[in-house]
Structure 1
């Protein structure tokens, strides 16, 4: 078996190809960072004046919480608005359910409810409503089943509404989708697009460290004493005198 010699030539060959691979990633980092910095931060964040839909609760008699359906251990009750309608958000070991605070009837979060909640976030016409059994990449910061309401606007916006609580979760548009694509290139998380300490980026980080070390090694190996000849002081010629 031929023995591998760790010579400067060996390191130079590996350094060249590793540098090419990492150099492409450096270009992607620079490109993705530049694009993300140029995008409108308000459109990327999905925020704006229309992102709030809280309404004051109407006056009147509400159902006594003690009279709500029993048979389950209730861990919490929240009185809030669902549009202009007051509701109880009842939390138990079985999950979360909504109860009309004025009648005591259970509320089913169907497509109509999802449309009403989403319509308070966007004035554009609604193009489609679909249910997701779990969060997709656009709503990855939220858990559980949800409704997706697509709008016919310039941003192709999509609102996400919780299937359990009918709470508005997030609004996404084409600007955010563009940002998210370049964010994926930037943090190299091509699956979840959320982590920056996964094995691939750690491998690239150590590859960069190796490149730096071998670069310094090859830098010093590329010099010779002749390269520093100009630093030496010129010696004065020695005059040899013959004896009289």
Structure 2
């Protein structure tokens, strides 16, 4: 009889110590557990195609007619571009809005940089702020056929906001006054759309940052913080399971003692 009571007392002491550790760990790390639950649920519920913002934009360049291809002698022109720029790795002919009118230009990628060349004279095209503004309005897809007003046009050369990857620099940022809080980023050299951002994307990015605990680059899913919290959370789960088993085990001993 005495041995049974000693077992129960010993179990209670061990359970109390484990319960104390479990309680403090839950208090200290519970906030991050709640953040994981909220941000994880938010990201699961959001539709990725909406977050990507493809509904915000439309094609800005006009189609290229077959007559223009013949008139420009495109095959020969492509060879001329490669000879003029030996480092060219990608050459695309586009019909783009430049200086208030649509012009045939070559978009050339060479030595990890891009540029525009006129299709007729292979001269470098320098885009102005006015060109960027006109292109941004072409890219922007209106809400219910209503074109939003432009709030700001900003040139970013050396650094940009956290929502823009540095590899895209230099770019022009064009903000629109709409309920989606739309921002379009256009290449400073070519005027092509490099990325788009809106309110839902920014909320998703914030949730992603809090979820993976990478508060700077927001790309690393193996930060020391998340590894530490993951291990601690696993330990909380173990102690919680231990307490649960101890609870039922103690009840069993009590029932046995009463018999």
TM-score by length of 2: 0.73
Post-superposition offset of 1:75: 2.9
Equivalent residue number for residue 106 of structure 1: 124
Mind listing any 5+ residue stretches in structure 2 that lack a counterpart? 1-13, 141-146
Post-superposition offset of 1:65: 4.1
Greater C-alpha radius of gyration: 1
3-state secondary structure, aligned to 1:107: coil
Equivalent residue number for residue 145 of structure 1: 170
Distance in 2 (alpha carbons) for counterparts of 1:229 and 1:130: 74
Distance in 2 (alpha carbons) for counterparts of 1:226 and 1:128: 69
3-state secondary structure, aligned to 1:51: coil
Distance in 1 (alpha carbons) for counterparts of 2:44 and 2:166: 22
Post-superposition offset of 1:142: 4.9
Higher normalized contact order (CA 8 Å, seq sep 6+, divided by chain length): 2
* Higher helix content, 1 or 2: 2
1:171-229 residue CA offsets vs partner (Å, 9 max, x unmatched): 21112222222222222222222332211111111111222233344445567667434
- Range that drifts further, 155-164 or 45-54: 45-54
**1:25-40 pair list within 5 angstroms:** 25-39=32-46
Relative to structure 1, the CA distance from residue 94 to residue 159 in structure 2 (aligned partners, 3 Å threshold; closer, same or farther) is closer
The correspondence for 2:72, drawn from 61, 70, 85, is 61
The correspondence for 1:179, drawn from 187, 204, 226, is 204
1:104-151 residue CA offsets vs partner (Å, 9 max, x unmatched): 221113322322321122132222111122453222385332111111
* Residue 129, structure 1, aligned to residue 145, structure 2: no
Alignment length (residue pairs) = 229
Distance in 1 (alpha carbons) for counterparts of 2:62 and 2:231: 53
1:22-56 residue CA offsets vs partner (Å, 9 max, x unmatched): 22122112222333445565542211273333431
3-state secondary structure, aligned to 2:120: coil
